Amino acid sequence: MLETGRRLKATTGSRFHADVQEVELGRGAILRCIQPPCGGNIYTLSSRGEWLMVDAGFGIYHREVAALLAHRMPHQTHPKCIVITHGDPDHAGGAGFFAAPAFVHRATKAIMEQRNRAFASRMEGSVLESVYTRLLCEFSRFRMPPAALTFGERAIAMRGVFPVLDRLALGEIELEILEGLGGHLAGHVYLFAEEHGILFSGDTRSST
């Protein structure tokens, strides 16, 4: 954990770097994929003058990420919202630094508030999980979003085996919020845009 904290601190400021890919989706929509030094991918999705973020990375990289976004999107200011796929600090920790509402699963909000990634899992009572989460939050400057809005608790539809908890409109893009089936963290959600063929899956990995 100490080594992780040292590496995070050593990759800020002038030592920060990030890989960025931009994908044109048609009709002016753009997907940007940002990979900071210590993990925690950040995505932005733009359409018709609006944009949103999917995950916000570590809080310790906030200034560097904000400068990068301002350079890449000079005519766009604050995101419409931030959608957090799950409560780990490398995905949720930077959300509180942006002037935008954050949308989260109710279990993700509890993980963020309690600083315990084992919430609602069979490891919930583990002291190690709680200490790990709290230390990582401290080292990475986790900041709770001032407005953490939760998705509905009941499915409004089904997408295959996945409950659809909500829908978000961004310009011409419609995103479905799919509730995960467990396996990584409680409250894990996916974002799916069928027409554009986009799936934001957080840390979920497929196996064949």
Q: Write down the pTM of the prediction.
A: 0.93
In tens, the pLDDT along 138-192 reads 999 999 998 899 998 899 999 999 999 999 999 999 999 999 998 789 999 999 9
DSSP three-state, residue 130: helix
Q: In what order do the strands lie in the sheet with 157-159?
A: 157-159, 162-170, 173-179, 189-193, 198-200
**DSSP for 76-124, written as a single string:** --S-S-EE-SS--HHHHTTGGGSSS-EEE-HHHHHHHHHT-TTTTSTTT
pLDDT for 106 beyond 90? yes
Considering the four listed CATH numbers 3.60.15.10, 3.40.718.10, 3.40.190.10, 1.10.150.80, the one that applies to the domain covering 2-154 is 3.60.15.10
Q: Of 165, 147, 148, whose CA–CA distance to 157 is shortest?
A: 165
Label residue 124 by pLDDT band (50, 70, 90): confident
Note the maximum CA span of the chain: 50
Q: For position 35, what pLDDT does the model report?
A: 96
DSSP three-state, residue 150: strand
Tokens of 172: 């011409």
Contact 53, 98 (CB under 8 A): yes
pLDDT for 100 beyond 60? yes
Q: For position 16, what pLDDT does the model report?
A: 97
Label residue 130 by pLDDT band (50, 70, 90): confident
Q: For position 206, what pLDDT does the model report?
A: 55
In tens, the pLDDT along 38-58 reads 988 899 999 999 999 999 999
At 171, phi and psi to the nearest 5?
A: 55, -120
Q: Of 87, 90, 92, whose CA–CA distance to 106 is shortest?
A: 87
CA–CA dist 4, 198 (Å, integer)? 32
Lowest mean pLDDT among 90-94, 123-127, 141-145: 123-127
